[in-house]
Chain A
């Protein structure tokens, strides 16, 4: 089971994601996110993925983020990603995923916007 350490910062649920998010771990990543997404509803703390430890993301990993984003939107929750490493940033730029999931340069920057 993928380990996703969580912490609370300025009323935002910050989740640390690490390693490679590729086809091999995408299923696991999906399952690990499920309980967190279930709480990401209107009036609940925003869910922020801290991507500073993610070194690579494949299209399968992007799909997990897309589905997470759709679920959060459907529940009227708030879901975002922060602190992308250069390689991941490049993938996001090419695929224009910043249009699908809000991206922030750092966790602090994200918390200023999302926090209450």
Chain B
């Protein structure tokens, strides 16, 4: 690991892996609180657009008709601006159907340039006199406007422009709390129609779509918010579509509902729309439709019966490429600006708008903190795969919750940004989890490696110990090579690497053969060490003493002298006069040997002289007995590794050993040892041997 990754790991693991995620979470919360200043704003806006595309506002009723100055109208009646008497005629056609309200999406700021009086000024006075007698088009339009409540458009201006004119129809009796007043868009100036037209119209509504600093986040291309209420030179005005509705309702009062930081809704008559604090409406768009667009040329030509306009809101506006810029809705539709007015009216009548009150961003921050703390608590305790699962689930919950909130009540909850901001927190947590898992795995590997090395080392030492132990045991075939009076075979197989059994066989002199077998209590290293002492001490003392019983008592005495672990040894020791066939023996708690004579096997009766194991009492007066062998007799010394070899609960046992010995053919003793060993292993049926297995066979062949 180089220094860079080590530093990274240290940072990740600080505070038990929770410090960095907590800091990241705090940063995420701060970021979410000020999302307007971050690129995340774009993500949030497009997420809200996705909601709308998933469920656009249904447009069942068509309360609005747009009479559009379209390409066909321009082809028929010539270039814009049209003479105002033509507009008056258009208005007359519409008014014939008794519409609820009419709105003109134009500002007639200057005099009609085609007014006969203006043309007359460029003619000789005689020719102009006739023209001067023709009606003034502005006067004609003003007269037409006065027939029914009509709303004119106003453009709010941030600064004084030449030709600027203030509107003259402010909202009546509107009491605005200071907080609302301050939150609303403020225009110091405006561009309104000529005074005589203003005077003839019933109301004026502004048509600014994006007041303030439009497009400061690149939002100019997609229209999501429209203002409802604005202050023009400290006088309150509604937007054009809302003013039309107010006029239809009898030009009553409007209520701006105050919220925690400004406005929260606007009420016109019985209709109510939730708004942002600055009075902006988050418009829930419906799919674009051409069905309510009528060409102004067709209307002028009388193609539609007057009933077409009955009980409808009629907006006259542009729908022609080249006359005005178009807006793009969140649904992806390219719309003429006048369509936005129609959608505002529809929304007000249905009382539906997108809702994102001031507390909703706080809820998002709360969700972020709750989710983050949950991750910080849970991820370090989980396995990596469940950790990933937990984060996916949380993200799914946040994003799904956002969709659900929109579908249920048009709430704009930004689950995507919350999930995105939880990402770094989770990555830091997961990184730490993975580092911890990796460290554990490495530690486990190191530990395993150490265990293996340790095991190999111990095995090596045990192997050495085994070779030393086996080296202590004599090889009878080698030791008695060329001997004709008797034959000895022996075999020892420890249950563990080293064991506590031993055997011995040696000539005390030319005539006397000493055989011994022993079994130290227990097995493994402690038993093997005691075995080595017992065996060496035994052979030494037996060679020194003439008397077997005295030798055995001496062996016990010497062994007991240094025996802190209180081990003891069972042993059978015999001295055979190889010329006469007399066997003197002593038994210290050991199994009585078997004797095969003429095909029959019997146990030597050691009961009369048998004592407890060596070192069990420490001062037992062992005695010896004598047995006369016959030529061909086979003596079988064994340890409990043979008699107590187990298979399940059953033991091999003395009886089975006797039967086995009886059945064996005449053969060299070492071959017979192997045959018996094979029988025992067969009986164990593959089970690990419980104890050391030792056999010593002596055949006396006579002098």
Contact = CB atoms under 8 A, between A and B. Distances in A.
A113 B342 CA distance: 116
Interface string A44-87: 00000000000110111011001100100000000000000001
Contacts of A63: 521-522, 566-568
Contact of A59 (B566, B612, B640, B651): B640
B341 interface: no
A94 B522 contact: no
Given A62-B568, A99-B617, 20 more contacts: A22-B690, A55-B649, A58-B644, A58-B690, A59-B613, A60-B521, A60-B522, A62-B613, A63-B521, A66-B568, A87-B651, A93-B607, A94-B589, A95-B612, A96-B610, A96-B611, A96-B612, A99-B612, A99-B620, A100-B617
Nearest to A67: B566
A23 B612 contact: no
Contacts of A89: none
A97 to B, nearest CB: 6
A66 B566 contact: yes
Interface of A: 22-23, 26, 55-56, 58-60, 62-63, 66-67, 70, 87, 93-97, 99-100
A97 B589 contact: yes
Contacts of A94: 570, 589-592, 610
A26 B610 contact: no
B109 interface: no
Interface of B: 519-523, 566-568, 570, 589-592, 607, 610-613, 616-617, 620, 640, 644, 649, 651, 690-691
B20 to A, nearest CB: 47
Given A95-B612, A96-B612, A70 B566 contact: yes
Given A55-B649, A100-B612, A62 B521 contact: yes
SS class, residues of chain A in contact with chain B: helix
A26 B522 CA distance: 9
Contacts of B566: 63, 66-67, 70
A116 to B, nearest CB: 28
A20 to B, nearest CB: 9
Contacts of B616: 66, 95, 97, 99-100
Contacts of A62: 521, 568, 613
A-B pairs, 10 with minimum CB distance: A95-B589, A63-B521, A59-B521, A96-B612, A60-B522, A99-B612, A67-B566, A100-B616, A96-B589, A94-B591
Contact of A23 (B590, B651, B690): B690
A70 B570 CA distance: 18
Contacts of A23: 522-523, 690-691
Contacts of A58: 640, 644, 690-691
A81 B553 CA distance: 27
A60 B616 CA distance: 13
Nearest to A71: B566
A56 B648 CA distance: 13
Contacts of B570: 59, 94-95
A59 B522 contact: yes
Contacts of B519: 59
B498 to A, nearest CB: 14
B522 A97 contact: no
A59 B589 CA distance: 10
Contacts of B649: 55
A22 B523 CA distance: 11
A19 to B, nearest CB: 11
Contacts of B690: 22-23, 58
Contacts of A22: 690
B523 A95 contact: no
Contacts of B610: 94, 96
Nearest to B615: A66
The residue among B568, B589, B591, B611 with the most chain A CB atoms within 10 A of its own CB is: B589
Nearest to B496: A23
Contacts of A100: 612, 616-617
A96 B519 CA distance: 15
Contacts of B589: 94-97
A59 B501 CA distance: 12
Contacts of B522: 23, 26, 59-60, 63
A63 B337 CA distance: 105
A98 to B, nearest CB: 9
B592 A97 contact: no
9 contacts: A23-B690, A58-B691, A62-B568, A66-B566, A66-B568, A67-B566, A94-B589, A99-B616, A100-B616
A22 B592 CA distance: 21
A63 B155 CA distance: 111
A85 to B, nearest CB: 13
B531 to A, nearest CB: 12
Nearest to B639: A59
Contacts of A59: 519-522, 568, 570, 613, 640, 691
Contact of A56 (B520, B612, B620, B651): B651
A23 B692 CA distance: 12
A97 B611 CA distance: 9
Nearest to A64: B521
Contacts of B590: 94-95
Contacts of B620: 99
A87 B649 CA distance: 12
A63 B566 CA distance: 8
Given A62-B521, A66-B566, A67-B566, A97 B591 contact: no
A34 to B, nearest CB: 15
A23 B520 CA distance: 12
